[in-house]
Each structure stands twice: as structure tokens, then as C-alpha cells.
Amino acid sequence: MLRPLIVIRHIPNLNFMGWHRIGFALSLVMTVGSILLFLVQGLNYGIDFAGGTLIEARTLQGPADLATMRATLDKLGLGEVALQNFGSANEVLIRLPRQPGDDKAQMAGVDKIKAALGNSVDYRRTEVVGPTVGNELIRAGVIATVLALLAIAAYVWFRFEWPFGVGAMLSTLHDTLTTIGLFALLQIEFNLTTLAAILTIAGYSINDTVVIYDRVRESMRRHRSMEFGELINRSLNETLSRTILTVSTVALAVLSLLIFGGEVLRGFSIAMLWGVVVGTYSSLFIAAPMLYYIRPKRGGRAKDEEPAAAKPAPRTTARQAARSTR
């Protein structure tokens, strides 16, 4: 007979609400720091946003010697050409900054690179992105992120009440900003794949938050007389096993992408791994404790708390009544 997988056999009694002020302070520091890093240091935009040329190449005679290839390309006067391995040792990504001029100037730079590297390299893919397309992608990415946050808040508001929507939007905004701050701090390339990871993080975070909110709402109906901070603590502890299972399985999948996915998925994997951790943290220490300060209305009394006087009295037979009068 199969048994369900149980991580926590007994519901713990961790005092999450006792730590929520520390969580608020830490989140405030991370959020403000992320905004400052973005404004001061900025992001390391990839070709998708900054414009330029991406060449995917494969060396035909053994592993690629990046040092020799870089020295050869630096002599061409094309600007700072970036080279990096991805996948196997003989696969190389060549990033060429945008050249002054039109599309012909970009293709001329590509031709110079091909001529300099010779016939020992097989060119698999060449992509040219102009600055106008890059700006449009940045604008579209910002709009997509903002609309996703608003849609999440609207859904939670409709599904629960407006205090739940406020808490969900703040926690999801926290996850998004801190992910951007991480990329600004480490100067990891920020491209369309990373943007897709941020939107995925928002979806993962709100999924965890909705599960906790649903338990909070259920507890509000069942325990109307319970102090609200204790009620939130109880709900968080009751859903902790599910939270641990979810974050563990997602983290294992993302770690596999980070280790075996190669350079192309590196930014996506780092963003997702960070998002899994910070999304779980924000659900526990931002979304749920926020309800303590903007309290939703409590629902009706649940069945297990109906007063005894309200329950129908058992019927008595005539024989039982006669015995009681003796």
C-alpha cells in the first residue's frame, strides 16, 4: 500500500509572526539596495536589449582556444568583442557590439570576424539586433512585467479580498525588484531569457502565496475568536510541509538547468534559483504578515465552532419522559 510523502509528520509551532519585523526590515534593505544598484550601476544588457551581433560558432579542430581567438579579434578594431564557451568545449558564442552605420556595417563586421578566424570554424547562427529593436524590447518587457503584477493583484483581490491583493502585489514586487538587483550586483547578462525567468518567478511566488492565503481564509472562518497573529502563525505552520516540498522539487530542477544547461541558460537558471528562494521567503515573511496590518473581514462561523445551544436537542420518547417524572 502506497503511503503519501510526508516531510513534517506533526504540524510545527514556529513563531513566524515573531520574526516578521526582522523580515520586513531585511526586505526593505534588499529592495532599496536593488533600486540603488539598478540606478547607479545598471544592468549588463545582452544583445537582445543593447543591440549588436551574436555569432554562434563551433571549432572544427578540437576545443576552442578563447585566448587566441580573442587576441585575433581584438586586432580588427571592432570594439570589445566578447567570447565565451557554451555547451561543449568547442562551441563558442561571439558577441560583437553594434558598429557605427546601418545593417551593411553590421554585416561587414561579421565578415571581418569570419575572415580572421578562417575555415577552422563552423558558423552555426548569426543574429543582428538594432538599437530600435532593443529599445522596443525593453519597453515591451517593462510593460509585460507591470501588467503581470497588476493582473496578479486583481486576481487575488477578486479571489479573496483587497487586503490579500495588496499583500500579494507587494510580495511579488519585492521578488521582481530583488531579482533585478541581483543581476545588477553580479553584472550577469540580462536578456529576454532572464525577463522570462522574472515573469516565471512572479507566477511561482503568487502560487505559493495563494496556498497560504487560502489556509488563512479557512482559519478565519473556523477560528473567529483566535487572535489574528496566532491565526496567521497557525496557517503558515499548517502549509509549511507543502512549501518545503514545492521549493525542494523546483530547486532541484533549476539546479539541473544551472549545472547542465550551459551558458545559454545560465542567466535564466540563476534568476529562477534566486526567485524560488526569495519567493518562498516573501510568502512567509511579507505576504502573510501584511494581513496583520490590513486585516480582511472575517467570515461566518464554521460548523466546528457552532454553539452548543444552537444544536437541536435530542428527541425524548414517552417512556423516557415517564421515567424522568418518577
Res. 185 pLDDT band, cuts 50 70 90: very high
CA 303 to CA 306: how far, in whole Å? Answer: 5
Tell me how many degrees the CA angle 277-243-265 measures, rounded to the nearest 5: 40
**What integer pLDDT is reported at residue 113 of this predicted model?**
82
Determine the residue type at 276. Answer: V
**What integer pLDDT is reported at residue 25 of this predicted model?**
93
Q: Which three cell numbers stand for residue 305?
A: 465552532
Q: Candidates 3.10.20.30, 2.40.50.140, 1.20.1640.10, 1.20.210.10; correct CATH number of 16-43+134-298?
A: 1.20.1640.10
Q: Where in the chain is the domain with CATH 1.20.1640.10?
A: 16-43+134-298
**What integer pLDDT is reported at residue 181 of this predicted model?**
92
CA 139 to each of CA 45, 143, 188: distance values in angstroms, whole numbers, following the listed order: 13, 6, 20
- Which residues, other chains included, contact 43 with Cβ-Cβ below 8 Å and sequence gap of 6+? 180, 183, 184, 190
**What integer pLDDT is reported at residue 28 of this predicted model?**
93
**What integer pLDDT is reported at residue 35 of this predicted model?**
94
Task: Give the bridge partners for 53, in sequence order.
Answer: 96, 128
* Whether residue 195 has pLDDT greater than 50: yes
Mean pLDDT of 223-251: 85
* Whether residue 6 has pLDDT greater than 70: no
CA 171 to CA 145: how far, in whole Å? Answer: 14
* Whether residue 242 has pLDDT greater than 50: yes
Using only C-alpha atoms, what is the Rg of the chain?
29
Share of the chain above pLDDT 70, in %: 85
Q: Give me the chain's average pLDDT, please.
A: 79
CA 290 to CA 236: how far, in whole Å? Answer: 13
* Whether residue 257 has pLDDT greater than 80: yes
pLDDT digits (tens, 9 = 90+) for 263-300: 667 888 899 999 899 988 998 898 888 888 887 776 54
**What integer pLDDT is reported at residue 38 of this predicted model?**
92
* Whether residue 301 has pLDDT greater than 50: no
CA 252 to CA 244: how far, in whole Å? Answer: 12
**What integer pLDDT is reported at residue 87 of this predicted model?**
67
Q: Where in the chain is the domain with CATH 3.30.70.3400?
A: 52-129
**What integer pLDDT is reported at residue 140 of this predicted model?**
84
**What integer pLDDT is reported at residue 298 of this predicted model?**
62
* Whether residue 230 has pLDDT greater than 60: yes
CA 54 to each of CA 27, 47, 59, 134: distance values in angstroms, whole numbers, following the listed order: 37, 7, 16, 14
Better-scored residue on pLDDT, 82 or 292: 292
Report the CATH fold assignment for 52-129: Alpha-Beta Plaits (3.30.70)
**What integer pLDDT is reported at residue 300 of this predicted model?**
44
* Whether residue 321 has pLDDT greater than 60: no
Mean pLDDT of 230-242: 86
